[in-house]
Structure 1
Amino acid sequence: MIDGADLTARRVNRRGLATRENMLEAALRALATGDPAAVSANRIAKEVGATWGAVKYQFGDIDGLWAAVLHRTAERRGSLPAANPAAPLRDRVAATIETMFTGLTARDSRAIESLRAALPRDRGELERLYPRTSAELSSWLGSWTAACEQAFADLDVDPDRVREVASFLPGAMRGIVSEQQLGTYSDLEAARRGLTNAIVAYLEGSRNP
């Protein structure tokens, strides 16, 4: 039997979780606008109709808020397509590129870009001022590299080359997405095919004869 105190605690906890969710969504909406002023604790508090004290209660400080925002986007981010043992190298590379292209055009990705643009560029300064945010960003690199390794693990390709591809591919894809967002005369489908061909040739070149 649940007593009155337990019931009250559960209701308070549900309200707290709902408030936290609203704050995270407000932060993502604000950041996705691309407005530099969106990277402001007071702006986020205003968006959700709360005070900065309420935001601090949920996340501790601005570092905690940004780390939670990044963690939320990581939870929702689509994984790479599961490796089909029958799928050839070219199909896997093409599927990876299309998955990234779709993900980078989503609202969460626009929010992440706005946040990263406002954070310190120097890694040491980032780790000193925003240790939790820095740790969250750092964890993404390991997860992404591991996902790429797993996607091509059963193929006879050099794992070092797979890691190299994992390193440059996010930047290359952001460039293509930027072209789409800014408007371009370039054929972006051709750009993705060209990138696919280049990666396939590079990985195939490492196969044992």
Structure 2
Amino acid sequence: MTTADAAGRRANRRGSATRENMLAAALTALATGDPAAVSANRIAKEAGATWGAVKYQFGDVDGLWAAVLHRTAERRGDLPFTGGTTASLRERVVGLVETMYAGLLAPDSRAIENLRAALPRDHSELERAFPRTAAELVSWRGSWAALCQKAFADLDVDPVRVEEIAAFIPGAMRGIVSEHQLGTYSDLGVARRGLANAIVAYLER
């Protein structure tokens, strides 16, 4: 290996470490829930870097947010019962509901919610101002729908109904998580069980 090759590898390792530090700083800041955390300059400061260094790694703030969202998607992993199983329909639905509930309470989800709250709600405005971020969010819909289809693929259930539950489960679970975060007199274990029972009954028809 030449001296130039060794220097290049060291530079690449430093660059990768810098990028990882920035993503970690971004997720930590966003997970606080502080709206002011949705600031590239603040995240650069948290990472001990300059805005110029952030731009070098991600191109612009759109690239940073897209990378943050992509990182959280990488860490979510697979749904339970998607790799070949003898689990029943009920076990799979309960696993899906409980996995999503735990995931939505995790710091990554708080970071995502904080970021999404600061982004434009209108799709055309989001796509114009943050095209890479919008593309990442759009990709989640397809990935989630595919995971749900995979989770029930070997069972005799209507794929159209699986598509429908894939569409409404995220919103329903966010409602339950919101109750948890705000404080409630309701038993959220009963709420999750009721949701799972309703999904099972719909898919069994």
Q: TM-score range by the shorter chain?
A: over 0.9
Per the alignment, residue 187 of structure 2 pairs with 187
Per the alignment, residue 22 of structure 1 pairs with 21
Offset at residue 85 of structure 1 (A):
4.1
1:148·1:163 contact (CA, 8 Å) conserved in 2?
A: yes
Amino acid at match of 1:111: A
Per the alignment, residue 147 of structure 1 pairs with 147
Per the alignment, residue 94 of structure 1 pairs with 94
Per the alignment, residue 39 of structure 1 pairs with 38
Amino acid at match of 1:128: R
Amino acid at match of 1:168: F
Q: With the length of structure 2 as denominator, give the TM-score of the two structures.
A: 0.97
1:78·1:103 contact (CA, 8 Å) conserved in 2?
A: no
Question: 2: CA distance between counterparts of 1:102 and 1:8?
Answer: 44
Per the alignment, residue 50 of structure 2 pairs with 51
1:60 and 2:59 equivalent? yes
Question: 2: CA distance between counterparts of 1:146 and 1:155?
Answer: 15
Amino acid at match of 1:67: A
Per the alignment, residue 159 of structure 2 pairs with 159
Amino acid at match of 2:54: V
Per the alignment, residue 79 of structure 1 pairs with 78
Instruction: Could you tell me which runs of 5 or more consecutive residues in structure 2 were left unpaired when the two chains were aligned.
Output: none
Offset at residue 131 of structure 1 (A):
0.6
Amino acid at match of 2:200: V
Per the alignment, residue 134 of structure 1 pairs with 134
1:123 and 2:123 equivalent? yes
Question: 2: CA distance between counterparts of 1:144 and 1:101?
Answer: 15
Instruction: Could you tell me which runs of 5 or more consecutive residues in structure 1 were left unpaired when the two chains were aligned.
Output: none
Question: 1: CA distance between counterparts of 2:176 and 2:78?
Answer: 20
Question: 2: CA distance between counterparts of 1:178 and 1:25?
Answer: 25
What per-residue deviation string (whole Å, max 9, x for no partner) do you get for residues 83-134 of structure 1? 4542211111001001111111111111000011110000011111111000
- CA RMSD for the aligned pairs? 0.9
What per-residue deviation string (whole Å, max 9, x for no partner) do you get for residues 21-57 of structure 1? 0000000001000111111111111111111111001
2:97·2:196 contact (CA, 8 Å) conserved in 1?
A: yes
Question: 1: CA distance between counterparts of 2:46 and 2:86?
Answer: 49
Which has the higher mean CA deviation after the structures are superposed, 147-156 or 188-197?
A: 147-156
Question: 2: CA distance between counterparts of 1:47 and 1:106?
Answer: 21
Percent of counterpart pairs with the same letter?
75
Aligned length: 204
Amino acid at match of 1:97: V
Question: 2: CA distance between counterparts of 1:70 and 1:77?
Answer: 11
Q: With the length of structure 1 as denominator, give the TM-score of the two structures.
A: 0.95
Question: 2: CA distance between counterparts of 1:73 and 1:141?
Answer: 14
* Partner SS, residue 156 of structure 1: coil
Per the alignment, residue 113 of structure 2 pairs with 113
